[in-house]
Chain A
Amino acid sequence: MAAARTWEGEIARRKAIEKAKTVSKSVFLNAFFIVIAFLTLLPIIYAFGISFGESNSLLSSSLSLFPERWTLENYISLFEDYDILTWFGNTLLLAVSTVVLVLAISIPAAYAFSRFRFHMRGATIRFLIILNAFPSVLSLYSVYTLVRELGLSNSIGGLLLVYVGTMAIFGLYNLKGYFDTIPYEIEEAARMDGCSTFGVIMKILLPLARPALAVTGVMVLIYVWNEYIFAVTFISNPDFYTLASGLYGLQAQESTGSWPVFFAASLVVSAPILLVFMLAQRHMVSGLSAGGVKE
């Protein structure tokens, strides 16, 4: 097949090579990312498989990720033999109350640090930044002492206090950053019309700051949902278990409990927050960067 090499033939041949290169690159890249995505999701896929399998299938040595016989028994057992609904209710109650309280105390504080100029303002802000860098685990025992001395140990109230206090700095700082981006002139116009400071905050500032309020609220919600060390350390009464302390307890019963139920619970615990995360993700980056960095 020694056909004369015309210009057209040469160009077509080069194009074909180029295309083959592109295709092989694309095949390679897709194969690579399918493997990476699979490895990334492996712990979740495996948990999913176990949670739908029979409890004795766990110890089989096969590498199959999915059960031979699918069953809902672990999920049913989770709701019948364990108080996951109580844990869920406690977590939801804590999450919603923490969000409401953090916003309620942070809005006026953020307003003050954004709009007023007073002695110790800058120093207080820097002090709060330092406090926020403190890993709260380090003072866990002292926080525990505080909660005990206030008579709040083993109660939802004790956890609520700790969560609100822990997130108060973030709430203040994030909202202040956003308030700073709202021009003062808008407020002045309302003041001319006889609006009080309270009115200005409620009617002018908060509607404008809605993205920052949403982001702050979602971040606090995620924090509470994902928090386990306070929940595990402070609560020993099963009536007040959160999802975190409940799940933690499920794995502790290695000899008696059922691992498939533990894996089912892991997925049930994660599902709502995955949903919140997916819904909020797009807005989150903008609301945070708008609030976070500026002083």
Chain B
Amino acid sequence: MKKKEGFRRFEREARPWLFASLSLLTILLVVVFPIGHTVYLSFTNMGIYNYYDYSLIGFGNYLDAFSLGSASFLRSLGITILWTALNMALQLVIAYVLAVLLNSPHLRLRKLYKALLMIPWAMPGYVSILLWKNGMFNGQFGYLSKIFSLLGVDVDFLSNDIMAFLSCTVVNLWLALPFMIMIIDGALQSVNRELFESAELDGCNAIKKHLFVAIPSIVPIVSPAVLITLFTTFKQFDIVNLMTISPVGTGAHIETVIVYAYQQAFITGNYGYSGAVATLIFLLVVLSTVFFDPSFRKKGAKHGSR
């Protein structure tokens, strides 16, 4: 009797793992193992000069990350913070203005405009980036280059740091605005019209109406999506990589942390050092996920029932 009960319990505990085994094993192999391997490499001196006979060197790579000169981890961290702040600010302001205008009662064709504005979202991201790089910014036949040279200004969009940073920002806005417009547009439609009207009666001007009525009431609705966008902007890799590094470097050095980690592995060949940078970013991402993700708050409250 007791034996049978023990077996039952074992079965109850083992069955879910059996159900999940294929999925979890695949995740272990393709996601967890590479992360562990990267962390392991971060404590070694693996690089192109000692590709096969590398050895453990402790925290050396981490010390390097915080002490190297100008082309260092800290510089890329600064660029990443600037990149994230600038892009989020521009995105929120532009998306808000466009969403408000799209909701104007005088706009009959709003569905058409909305559909057109959503197209960048549906394009494959890497194709869009390459279209911008080769179609808009190319020095010989890029459309923007043509416009500027007709104006008598020769602009090199991708070879100096500041222009490349701005060009990448333009591309990121192009890619990310549709989602943000959609989110804010949806939120605005749920704003209480009466609140707006009573604000008008109280003598609020247009700016006050937005600052004190519309924006406070959409903040709780849009904040999860804004948070997700904050993370994706911070983790954005494709734009800077395809615009300034791959397949051939353009001369600009605007590596964000993730691009920096990639570049240290695949271009410079400092696999150990790259692993240390990757581990540091991972720790940062984990800490902020635990801090921001709702699943990590209100512990226990959800797991009780059924």
Whether A41 contacts B107 by the Cβ 8 Å rule is no
- For window 1-56 of A, CB contacts with B under 8 Å fall at 22, 25-26, 29-30, 32-33, 36-37, 40-44, 46-47, 50
Instruction: Indicate if B85 sits at the interface (CB-CB under 8 A).
Output: no
**Residue in B23, B140, B278, B282 whose Cβ sees the most chain A Cβ within 10 Å:** B23
Contacting residues, chain A, for B83 (C-beta < 8 A):
none
CB distance from B189 to the nearest CB of A (A): 14
Instruction: Indicate if B176 sits at the interface (CB-CB under 8 A).
Output: no
Chain A interface helix/strand/loop/mixed? helix
- For window 117-143 of A, CB contacts with B under 8 Å fall at 117-119, 121-122, 124-126, 128-131, 133-143
Residue of B nearest to A29 (CB): B107
CB distance from B245 to the nearest CB of A (A): 12
Residue of B nearest to A138 (CB): B278
Whether B125 contacts A226 by the Cβ 8 Å rule is yes
Whether B124 contacts A106 by the Cβ 8 Å rule is no
Instruction: Indicate if A79 sits at the interface (CB-CB under 8 A).
Output: no
Chain B interface helix/strand/loop/mixed? helix
Whether B146 contacts A63 by the Cβ 8 Å rule is yes
Please, what's the 1-or-0 string for A260-295, where 1 marks a CB less than 8 Å from any CB in chain B? 001100100110011001100100000000000101
Whether A119 contacts B237 by the Cβ 8 Å rule is no
Whether B136 contacts A116 by the Cβ 8 Å rule is no
- For window 258-306 of B, CB contacts with A under 8 Å fall at 258, 261-262, 265-266, 271, 274-275, 278, 281-282, 285-286, 289-290, 293, 295-296, 302-303, 306
Contacting residues, chain A, for B22 (C-beta < 8 A):
104-105, 108-109
Instruction: Indicate if A199 sits at the interface (CB-CB under 8 A).
Output: no
Given known pairs A26-B107, A278-B122, the reply for A42 and B143 (CB within 8 Å) is: yes
Instruction: Indicate if B147 sits at the interface (CB-CB under 8 A).
Output: yes
Given known pairs A36-B98, A252-B247, the reply for A165 and B31 (CB within 8 Å) is: yes
Contacting residues, chain A, for B15 (C-beta < 8 A):
112, 116
Whether A134 contacts B285 by the Cβ 8 Å rule is yes
Interface-lining segment among B33-41, B57-65, B158-166, B192-200: B33-41
Contacting residues, chain A, for B50 (C-beta < 8 A):
none
Instruction: Indicate if B3 sits at the interface (CB-CB under 8 A).
Output: no
Please, what's the 1-or-0 string for A54-80, where 1 marks a CB less than 8 Å from any CB in chain B? 000011010100000000000000000
| CA distance in complex: A290, B274 (Å) | 39
Instruction: Indicate if B2 sits at the interface (CB-CB under 8 A).
Output: no
Given known pairs A112-B16, A141-B38, the reply for A43 and B135 (CB within 8 Å) is: yes
Instruction: Indicate if B127 sits at the interface (CB-CB under 8 A).
Output: yes
Contacting residues, chain B, for A109 (C-beta < 8 A):
19-20, 22-24
Instruction: Indicate if A168 sits at the interface (CB-CB under 8 A).
Output: yes
Whether B281 contacts A46 by the Cβ 8 Å rule is no
Whether A33 contacts B107 by the Cβ 8 Å rule is yes
Instruction: Indicate if A229 sits at the interface (CB-CB under 8 A).
Output: yes
Residues of A bordering B, CB below 8 Å: 22, 25-26, 29-30, 32-33, 36-37, 40-44, 46-47, 50, 58-59, 61, 63, 104-106, 108-109, 111-113, 116-119, 121-122, 124-126, 128-131, 133-143, 145-146, 161-162, 164-166, 168-169, 171-172, 184, 225-226, 228-229, 232-233, 244, 247-248, 251-252, 259, 262-263, 266, 269-270, 273-274, 277-278, 281, 293, 295
| Other A-B pairs beyond A165-B26, A248-B130, 8, CB < 8 Å | A26-B106, A118-B12, A137-B237, A138-B258, A142-B38, A146-B37, A168-B26, A226-B124
